[in-house]
Copies of this chain bind each other. A is one copy, B any other.
Amino acid sequence: MPTVSTEDYLKQIRKLQEGAARVSTSALAASLGIADASVTAMLKKLAGQGLVSYQPYQGVTLTEKGEAFALRTLRRHRLWELFLVRHLGFSWDRIHEEAERLEHATSEALEAALDRALGFPRLDPHGDPIPSHDGRIEECTGAALTALPTGALARVRRVADGDPELLRHAGRLGVVPEASLEVRERFGFDGSLRVRVGGRDRFLSAEVARHVFVDLLEARDG
C-alpha cells in the first residue's frame, strides 16, 4: 500500500513527465514545495520499491507500476472533484484541495461507488479526463483560446485548474466546459479578447485565455 506521500510524488512526477521525458529533482521539489535534498532521499525509496526509475543526476521516470499508481490516484482525485460538485454543491474552484486529501482515503470499493453514482463519467469539472479503472487516460485535446481567430465559434473543452482565482473568475463569466463561445474581437497589443458566451459579451485577459482550451466549431470572418 503506498503512503500519502508516495501517492502525491507519483502523481506529480506523472504530471511533470508530460512534455519532458525525465523529471529533474529540482522541478519535482519545487512543484511539491519540498526541499531538493528531501526529494533525492524519497526518489531512492521509490526506486527501491520499483515505482520509478532513478539514476543520480539524471532525473526520474515512472515505471509501469509507478504510472499505474499515479493514474489510480488521479482517477480518485478527479472522481472526487466531480462528486463534490455534482452531489455536494461545491464550486469548481474549491474542490482541488478537498480531493487532494480524499484521494488518499479511497478504497477500491469507494472508488467504484463514486464512479457508479456519477454514471461512469469521462471528464472532471475542469474538463480533464478521468483515467479508467484499468489505467487508460484520454489525451487532452483542444487548442488554447488565444490561438483562435476573430469570428471563430468554439466549444470550451477544458479550463486549466492551477489557480482557484482564475477558475472562480472564469466560472462567473460562464467560461466552463461545454459552453459555446464566439471570438468577437482580439486585442493584439495585450492578447486579450472579447467573446460572446452565455448570451453576453465578456472580456478575457490573455492570462485567462491562455488557460482555456477549446474545440473549434467553425472559423468565419467577423
Which A residues lie at the B interface, using CB under 8 A? 84, 87-90, 94, 97-98, 101-102, 104-105, 107, 109-110, 113-114, 116-117
Q: Which residue of B lies closest to A97 (CB)?
A: B107
Closest Cβ of chain B to A173, distance in Å, is 24
A107 touches B98 (CB 8 A): yes
Sampled A-B contacts (21; CB under 8 Å): A84-B110, A84-B113, A87-B87, A87-B117, A88-B110, A88-B113, A88-B114, A88-B117, A89-B116, A89-B117, A90-B109, A90-B113, A94-B109, A97-B107, A98-B107, A98-B109, A98-B110, A101-B105, A101-B107, A102-B102, A104-B105
Collect the chain B residues with CB atoms within 8 Å of residue A88's CB: 110, 113-114, 117
- Closest partner residue, chain B, to A117 (CB atom): B88
What is the chain B residue whose CB lies nearest that of A103? Answer: B105
Bound: A101/B4 CA distance, A: 12
Q: Closest B residue to A100 by CB, please name it.
A: B105
* Complex contacts, A84 vs chain B, CB 8 Å: 110, 113
Cβ–Cβ < 8 Å partners of A110 in chain B: 84, 88, 98
Closest to A101 in B: B105
CB distance from A34 to the nearest CB of B (A): 18
